[in-house]
Amino acid sequence: MRGLQICATDPVGESDETEKARGDALPEHIQYRDEGCDLSPSCLNCTLPLCRYDQPGGVRRLRTRGRDEEIVRLRRRERLPIDALARRFDVSRRTVFRILKRNNGREHPVSNP
C-alpha cells in the first residue's frame, strides 16, 4: 500500500522509562515516507480535496462530485429536463434522479456516503 508509511526509529538518548510507553504514543520519533498513490506521487502535494483512501467511495466519488454539482445546478437554475441532463452527462435517467434526490432541498450538493 502506498501513501504515508510509518517508519519507526529508535529514540536517541532516551531513558528506560520511555521504552515502557507505546511505540505509537511518541510521534516525534516517527518518520513518514510520502509515497503517494497512483493519482499523485506525493500525498503532501496531492491536488485532491480529500485523500482517496479517506473518502467513502474512493476516487470515483471524488471524480463524480463535480458532475453531480453541475446536474443539480442545471436542474435548479435552468430547469433542464431529466432526459436532457441524462444525455448531456451520458448517464441514465435513474442516475439523474438519484443525484437530485440525494441533494433535495439543499443549497449545495452533498456526496453519497
Q: Which of 5-9, 26-30, 32-36 has the lowest mean pLDDT?
A: 5-9
User: In angstroms, rounded to a whole number, what is the distance separating the alpha carbons of residues 96 and 99?
Assistant: 5
Question: Is residue 36 within 8 Å of residue 8, measured between CB atoms?
Answer: no
pLDDT reported for residue 80: 94
Res 10: pLDDT? 52
Q: What is the pLDDT of residues 69-83, one digit of tens each?
A: 999 999 999 999 999
Give the CA angle between residues 51, 52, 56 to the nearest 5°. 105
